[in-house]
């Protein structure tokens, strides 16, 4: 018999797992997901001028820019867009908290980096799977794909693929522009491996969650999202 799991808890579980996984992959330094690589590069560049800048802050700043682009692109605004930005802020704060704790480990060797990468990869995939089982607004990354899909009546998979490719291209351009042609920051073999397996991992974790849990609302708030 399936156990009950509240959608609101799934939201916070997803955020925590995403933040923790991203922090592990950042420390592993084999390359981040192509989705968050542009924000990481923004952080590296802005930190040269603003000492208080963090990866988490760069995350929600980048997502704010993406949200503005979305509004221009689809020519409409919804209240849920602001809720998605709030999710981005919460995620950014959790990411900074996780990175702060991991900093106490100091330098890590190659073996630990490999372990961190794979734990981070699996953790972020599980986090996305949890986020798919909540009605609360996801980050702007997911919102962008969803809204563009609905606005132009295209297949979700097609828009997601295009978005992922554009994110990767943007990250490469930013890396070259900020740090010199041929210099890759935040992008590496880990980025390519993540692109190959991330979708399947998310699907697998999603199926496992659905076999084990019934996701139900605890609060009557779905209509606001």
Q: Which pLDDT tens digits describe the chain residue by residue (225 residues)?
A: 788 999 999 999 999 999 999 999 999 999 898 889 999 999 999 998 998 999 999 999 999 999 999 999 888 888 889 999 999 999 999 999 999 999 998 889 999 999 999 999 999 999 988 988 899 988 888 888 888 887 877 776 677 778 888 888 899 999 999 988 878 888 889 998 988 888 788 888 988 999 999 999 988 888 888
- Is the Cβ–Cβ distance between 26 and 32 less than 8 Å? yes
- What lies within 8 Å, CB to CB, of 208 at 6+ separation is none
The alpha carbon dihedral of 21, 26, 28, 31 has a sign of positive
**Domain extent at residue 117:** 3-216
Distance (Å, whole) CA 215 – CA 209: 9
Distance (Å, whole) CA 95 – CA 20: 7
Domains held by the chain: number: 1
**Residue 222, domain member (yes or no):** no
**Residue 223, domain member (yes or no):** no
Taking each helix axis from N to C terminus, what angle separates 79-102 and 140-152, rounded to the nearest 10 degrees?
A: 150
**Residue 208, domain member (yes or no):** yes
Q: For the chain, give the DSSP string.
A: -PEEEEHHHHHHHHHHHHHHHHHHHHHHTS---TTTHHHHHHHHHHTTT-TT--HHHHHHHHHHHHHHHHHHHHT---HHHHHHHHHHHHHHHHHHHHHHHHGGG-S--HHHHHHHHHHHHHHHHHHHHHHTT--S---HHHHHHHHHHHHHT--HHHHHHHHHHHHHHHHHHHHHHHH-TT--SS-SHHHHHHHHHHHHHHHHHHHHHHHHEEEE-SSS-GGG-
**Residue 143, domain member (yes or no):** yes
**Residue 52, domain member (yes or no):** yes
**What pLDDT does 161 receive?**
77
**Residue 224, domain member (yes or no):** no
**Residue 221, domain member (yes or no):** no
**Residue 27, domain member (yes or no):** yes
CA 191 to the chain's CA centroid: 13
Beta bridge partners of 3: 213
**What pLDDT does 15 receive?**
95
| Distance between start and end Cα atoms, the chain | 30
- What lies within 8 Å, CB to CB, of 108 at 6+ separation is 27, 116
Two tokens at 20? 């923790």
Distance (Å, whole) CA 79 – CA 224: 9
**What pLDDT does 157 receive?**
64
Give pTM, 2 decimals: 0.89
User: What's the length of the chain?
Assistant: 225
């Amino acid at each position: 018999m399936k156990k009950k799991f509240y959608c609101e808890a799934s939201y916070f579980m997803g955020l925590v797992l995403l933040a923790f996984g991203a922090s592990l992959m950042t420390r592993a330094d084999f390359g981040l997901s192509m989705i968050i690589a542009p924000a990481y590069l923004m952080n590296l560049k802005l930190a040269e001028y603003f000492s208080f800048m963090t990866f988490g802050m760069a995350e929600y700043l980048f997502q704010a820019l993406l949200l503005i682009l979305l509004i221009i692109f689809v020519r409409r605004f919804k209240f849920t867009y602001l809720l998605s930005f709030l999710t981005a802020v919460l995620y950014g704060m959790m990411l900074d908290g996780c990175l702060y704790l991991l900093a106490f480990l100091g330098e890590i060797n190659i073996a630990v980096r490999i372990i961190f990468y794979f734990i981070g990869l699996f953790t972020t995939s599980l986090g996305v799977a949890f986020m798919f089982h909540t009605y609360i607004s996801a980050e702007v990354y997911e919102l962008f794909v969803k809204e563009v899909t609905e606005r132009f009546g295209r297949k979700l998979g097609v828009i997601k693929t295009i978005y992922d490719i554009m994110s990767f291209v943007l990250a490469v351009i930013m890396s070259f522009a900020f740090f010199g042609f041929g210099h890759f920051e935040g992008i590496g073999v880990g980025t390519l491996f993540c692109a190959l397996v991330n979708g399947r991992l998310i699907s697998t974790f999603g199926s496992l969650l659905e076999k084990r849990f019934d996701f139900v609302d605890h609060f009557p708030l779905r209509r606001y999202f």
